[in-house]
């Protein structure tokens, strides 16, 4: 799973297709969509038209909790929309009514065993809810997609996921950040980078998957262009300190 992916929430229609095409042309090989985003068809068409082989693109989509009991119908519809035989990762989008609901997890595991998705995971689940799924089925979600940013940095949360072998995938890296924060601005200036690039680089150096969204070609490129600098240990700690716990 590439640590850097492209988020597609609110990218629909022609704009969504163009953004996903641009992202693939830029070099992104990981796209994050969801049934709820109503853009799987655009994302799938962008992958096909890009000329990048399907197996080189990591595609995540998500099950809306209201499809409980109709998991198969939801996933087969996602595959039809995307125009692919399998997705790389299928997540339950959030805990239905705030509950873990292991019976949904069992259905997701069965569909994975049939090969319709390579892996299954969760989103917006607590550690307690993840433990409930593991306790009931013996299988732990491989990923938990949760809001993440310097302001949300919580080392205990990372440790709890890692102890269980769950990959932390952060979402909304910019919406949850103050891009004018003086610490971030100073560090960005020092590396001749943008604050957005520093935020993404910080995720990658913590080995936290990050999926920035942009509809703007210049920003799609900027967000991908983060391998030209490295944050020092001291800079990482100063950014960590922007977290509240």
Q: How far is the CB of 211 from ligand NAP (least distance, A)?
A: 5
x/- string (CB under 6 A) for ligand NAP, residues 122-151? -xx--------------------x------
183 with 239: CB under 8 angstroms? yes
204 touching ligand NAP, by CB under 6 A: no
Residue nearest ligand NAP (C-beta atom) = 7
Binding segment toward ligand NAP, per CB under 6 A, in 38-46, 99-107, 109-117, 205-213: 205-213
Among 211, 226, 231, 239, binds ligand NAP (CB under 6 A): 211
* Nearest-angstrom CA–CA distance, 153 and 3: 17
CA–CA dist 90, 103 (Å, integer): 16
d(CA 14, CA 20): 10
Choice among 28, 37, 67, 171 that is catalytic: 37
Length of the chain: 245
Nearest to 28 by CA among 193, 236, 165, 225: 225
67 belongs to the catalytic site: no
Q: Which of 106, 191, 219, 238 binds ligand NAP (CB under 6 A)?
A: 219
End-to-end alpha carbon distance in the chain: 28
- What part of residues 33-92 is at the interface with ligand NAP (CB under 6 A)? none
Which residues form the catalytic set? 37
């Amino acid at each position: 799973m590439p640590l850097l992916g492209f988020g597609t929430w609110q990218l629909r229609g022609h704009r969504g297709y163009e953004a996903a095409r641009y992202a693939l042309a830029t070099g992104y090989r990981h796209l994050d969509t969801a049934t709820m985003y109503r853009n799987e068809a655009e994302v799938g068409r962008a992958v096909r038209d890009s000329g990048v082989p399907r197996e080189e693109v990591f595609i995540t989509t998500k099950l809306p909790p209201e499809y409980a009991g109709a998991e198969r119908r939801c996933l087969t519809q996602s595959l039809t929309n995307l125009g692919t035989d399998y997705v790389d990762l299928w997540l339950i989008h959030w805990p239905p009514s705030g509950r873990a609901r292991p019976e949904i997890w069992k259905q997701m595991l069965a569909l994975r065993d049939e090969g319709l998705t390579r892996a299954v995971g969760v989103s917006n689940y607590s550690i307690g809810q993840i433990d409930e799924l593991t306790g009931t089925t013996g299988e732990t979600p491989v990923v938990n997609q949760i809001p993440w940013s310097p302001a949300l940095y919580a080392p205990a949360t990372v440790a709890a996921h890692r102890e269980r072998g769950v990959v932390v995938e952060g979402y909304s890296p910019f919406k949850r950040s103050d891009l004018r924060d003086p610490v971030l601005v100073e560090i960005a200036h020092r590396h001749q980078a943008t604050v957005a690039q520093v935020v993404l680089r910080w995720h990658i150096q913590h080995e936290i998957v990050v999926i920035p969204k942009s509809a703007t070609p210049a920003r799609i490129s900027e967000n991908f262009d983060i391998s030209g600098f490295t944050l020092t240990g001291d800079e990482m700690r100063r950014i960590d300190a922007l977290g509240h716990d």
